[in-house]
């Protein structure tokens, strides 16, 4: 249960202990309002978070596509340079110029290293994209769980409010019936007392005659 719901539960428990319908309805109304506000805030936050996440995913996808194109271009350039190096190597082998071949080999190695670094960077971006998607699914599941919990608590409070309303109505009807019965009994007792007094007065009058 969220920490924000603890005071409401304590207030509801105190109202139930006091058996005060007004306090019970006041606590239930306050709790229902808080639940509706929390659900509205959660929905707004979820929409904002989804919009931000979609924008981040769009940027990551665009960056991933861009780096992939760059890597493809570098791979093509590396293949072209490799062919040129092979041609130069064969040519310089024929001419016997070993120093130039070493410099060309160094350039080729540097180009390969650069291509490898870019490939690692693209792989890192792809892993980051996958981690972001996993985090999105996890957060979505947590938000759905929170929304379900709020709905369950809201329904429970509504059911409790209906039950208490029914009990209060039954109590009011019972009290009204008891009061009516008392009034009828009181009136019947008054009429009986008056009749008895009249009979006694008649007897005394007969004796005197």
CATH of the domain at 87: 1.10.287.1490
Is residue 158 one of the residues assigned to a domain?
Answer: yes
Number of domains in the chain: 1
Is residue 28 one of the residues assigned to a domain?
Answer: yes
Sequence length of the chain is: 209
Is residue 138 one of the residues assigned to a domain?
Answer: yes
Query: What Rg, from alpha-carbon coordinates, does the chain have?
Result: 45
Is residue 55 one of the residues assigned to a domain?
Answer: yes
- The enclosing H or E element of 23 equals helix 21-95
**pLDDT band for position 6 (cuts 50, 70, 90):** very low
Structure token digits, residue 112? 């390969």
Is the torsion defined by CA of 55, 60, 66, 72 positive or negative?
A: negative
Is residue 195 one of the residues assigned to a domain?
Answer: no
Is residue 205 one of the residues assigned to a domain?
Answer: no
Q: 78-94 pLDDT, tens per residue?
A: 788 778 877 877 776 66
Is residue 186 one of the residues assigned to a domain?
Answer: no
Q: 163-197 pLDDT, tens per residue?
A: 888 888 888 888 889 888 888 888 877 665 556 55
Given a cut of 70, is residue 113 above it in pLDDT? yes
Is residue 206 one of the residues assigned to a domain?
Answer: no
Residue numbers of the domain that contains 159: 7-179
């Amino acid at each position: 249960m969220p920490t924000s719901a603890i005071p409401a539960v304590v207030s509801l428990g105190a109202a139930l202990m006091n058996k005060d319908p007004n306090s019970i309805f006041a606590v239930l109304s306050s709790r229902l309002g808080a639940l509706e506000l929390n659900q509205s805030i959660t929905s707004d936050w979820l929409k904002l978070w989804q919009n931000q996440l979609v924008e981040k995913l769009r940027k990551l996808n665009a960056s991933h596509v861009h780096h992939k194109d760059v890597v493809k271009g570098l791979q093509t350039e590396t293949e072209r340079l490799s062919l040129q190096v092979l041609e130069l190597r064969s040519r310089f082998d024929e001419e016997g110029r070993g120093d130039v071949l070493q410099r060309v080999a160094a350039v080729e190695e540097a180009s390969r290293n650069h291509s490898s670094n870019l490939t690692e960077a693209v792989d890192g971006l792809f892993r980051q994209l996958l981690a972001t998607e996993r985090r999105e699914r996890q957060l979505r599941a947590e938000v759905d769980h929170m929304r379900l919990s709020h709905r369950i608590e809201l329904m429970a409070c509504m059911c409790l409010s209906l039950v208490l309303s029914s009990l209060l109505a039954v109590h009011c009807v019972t009290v009204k019936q008891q009061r009516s019965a008392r009034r009828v009994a009181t009136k019947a007792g008054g009429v009986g007392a008056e009749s008895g007094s009249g009979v006694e007065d008649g007897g005394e009058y007969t004796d005197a005659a």
